[in-house]
Structure 1
Protein backbone atom coordinates (compact mmCIF):
# COMPACT_ATOMS: atom_id res chain seq x y z
CA UNK A 1 0.00 0.00 0.00
CA UNK A 2 2.83 2.39 0.79
CA UNK A 3 4.39 1.98 -2.65
CA UNK A 4 1.29 1.82 -4.84
CA UNK A 5 -1.22 3.78 -2.77
CA UNK A 6 -3.77 1.02 -3.38
CA UNK A 7 -5.35 -1.04 -0.61
CA UNK A 8 -4.32 -4.71 -0.89
CA UNK A 9 -6.74 -7.51 -1.70
CA UNK A 10 -6.71 -10.41 0.76
CA UNK A 11 -7.57 -13.97 -0.28
CA UNK A 12 -8.41 -16.52 2.42
CA UNK A 13 -8.52 -19.82 0.54
CA UNK A 14 -10.32 -22.65 2.34
CA UNK A 15 -9.60 -20.88 5.62
CA UNK A 16 -12.01 -23.05 7.62
CA UNK A 17 -9.85 -26.08 6.84
CA UNK A 18 -7.21 -24.79 9.26
CA UNK A 19 -9.09 -22.42 11.58
CA UNK A 20 -12.31 -22.55 13.57
CA UNK A 21 -15.10 -20.00 13.11
CA UNK A 22 -13.96 -17.84 16.04
CA UNK A 23 -10.46 -17.43 14.62
CA UNK A 24 -11.78 -16.70 11.13
CA UNK A 25 -14.07 -14.04 12.60
CA UNK A 26 -11.10 -12.49 14.42
CA UNK A 27 -9.09 -12.35 11.19
CA UNK A 28 -11.96 -10.72 9.33
CA UNK A 29 -12.36 -8.13 12.08
CA UNK A 30 -8.63 -7.36 11.89
CA UNK A 31 -8.78 -6.62 8.18
CA UNK A 32 -12.08 -4.75 8.07
CA UNK A 33 -10.47 -1.34 8.59
CA UNK A 34 -9.34 1.01 5.82
CA UNK A 35 -5.93 -0.65 5.43
CA UNK A 36 -7.36 -3.40 3.23
CA UNK A 37 -9.40 -3.40 0.06
CA UNK A 38 -11.48 -6.41 -0.83
CA UNK A 39 -11.49 -9.68 1.05
CA UNK A 40 -12.12 -12.93 -0.81
CA UNK A 41 -12.97 -16.08 1.16
CA UNK A 42 -13.26 -19.46 -0.52
CA UNK A 43 -15.15 -22.20 1.26
CA UNK A 44 -17.23 -25.25 0.43
CA UNK A 45 -19.96 -24.24 2.90
CA UNK A 46 -21.59 -20.95 1.88
CA UNK A 47 -23.85 -20.87 4.95
CA UNK A 48 -20.90 -21.06 7.34
CA UNK A 49 -19.05 -18.29 5.54
CA UNK A 50 -22.13 -16.08 5.45
CA UNK A 51 -22.68 -16.50 9.21
CA UNK A 52 -19.12 -15.37 9.94
CA UNK A 53 -19.25 -12.41 7.55
CA UNK A 54 -22.58 -11.22 8.99
CA UNK A 55 -20.94 -10.89 12.42
CA UNK A 56 -18.58 -8.24 11.08
CA UNK A 57 -21.40 -5.99 9.79
CA UNK A 58 -19.80 -5.23 6.43
CA UNK A 59 -21.38 -5.39 3.01
CA UNK A 60 -20.66 -8.62 1.15
CA UNK A 61 -21.58 -10.72 -1.87
CA UNK A 62 -21.51 -14.48 -2.18
CA UNK A 63 -20.59 -16.04 -5.51
CA UNK A 64 -21.27 -19.73 -6.07
CA UNK A 65 -19.12 -21.51 -8.63
Structure 2
Protein backbone atom coordinates (compact mmCIF):
# COMPACT_ATOMS: atom_id res chain seq x y z
CA UNK A 1 0.00 0.00 0.00
CA UNK A 2 1.33 3.41 -0.91
CA UNK A 3 0.94 5.91 1.89
CA UNK A 4 1.09 9.60 1.12
CA UNK A 5 1.09 12.45 3.59
CA UNK A 6 -2.17 13.76 2.15
CA UNK A 7 -3.87 10.36 2.50
CA UNK A 8 -2.74 9.94 6.10
CA UNK A 9 -3.77 13.51 6.96
CA UNK A 10 -7.23 12.90 5.54
CA UNK A 11 -7.70 9.51 7.18
CA UNK A 12 -6.53 10.48 10.67
CA UNK A 13 -7.28 14.22 10.67
CA UNK A 14 -3.72 15.22 11.52
CA UNK A 15 -1.11 17.69 10.35
CA UNK A 16 1.63 16.95 7.82
CA UNK A 17 4.33 16.48 10.47
CA UNK A 18 2.42 13.74 12.31
CA UNK A 19 1.41 12.13 9.03
CA UNK A 20 5.04 11.97 7.90
CA UNK A 21 6.09 10.56 11.29
CA UNK A 22 3.46 7.82 10.93
CA UNK A 23 4.68 6.97 7.42
CA UNK A 24 8.31 6.88 8.58
CA UNK A 25 7.44 4.55 11.46
CA UNK A 26 5.51 2.20 9.16
CA UNK A 27 8.45 2.19 6.74
CA UNK A 28 10.73 1.24 9.67
CA UNK A 29 8.58 -1.84 10.25
CA UNK A 30 6.31 -0.79 13.10
CA UNK A 31 2.75 -2.14 13.05
CA UNK A 32 -0.10 0.20 12.20
CA UNK A 33 -1.15 0.34 15.85
CA UNK A 34 2.39 1.02 17.11
CA UNK A 35 2.95 3.73 14.50
CA UNK A 36 -0.36 5.42 15.34
CA UNK A 37 0.54 5.50 19.04
CA UNK A 38 4.11 6.67 18.47
CA UNK A 39 3.06 9.40 16.02
CA UNK A 40 0.45 10.68 18.46
CA UNK A 41 -2.48 9.75 16.26
CA UNK A 42 -4.09 7.35 18.73
CA UNK A 43 -4.37 6.94 22.47
CA UNK A 44 -3.19 3.80 24.24
CA UNK A 45 -5.93 1.44 25.46
CA UNK A 46 -7.32 2.12 28.91
CA UNK A 47 -7.22 -0.58 31.56
CA UNK A 48 -9.68 -1.06 34.41
CA UNK A 49 -8.10 -1.02 37.84
CA UNK A 50 -7.80 -4.59 39.05
CA UNK A 51 -8.19 -6.24 35.64
CA UNK A 52 -5.87 -7.11 32.82
CA UNK A 53 -8.38 -6.59 30.04
CA UNK A 54 -8.17 -3.47 27.93
CA UNK A 55 -11.22 -1.66 26.64
CA UNK A 56 -11.09 -2.49 22.97
CA UNK A 57 -13.11 -4.11 20.26
CA UNK A 58 -13.21 -7.89 20.43
CA UNK A 59 -10.86 -9.64 18.05
CA UNK A 60 -12.80 -12.87 17.87
CA UNK A 61 -10.07 -14.75 19.70
CA UNK A 62 -10.82 -16.55 22.92
CA UNK A 63 -8.51 -15.92 25.86
- Structure 1 or 2: larger strand share? 1
- Tell me which of the two structures has the higher relative contact order, counting C-alpha pairs closer than 8 angstroms and 6 or more residues apart: 1
- Structure 1 or 2: larger helix share? 2
Name the TM-score, length of structure 2 as normaliser: 0.29
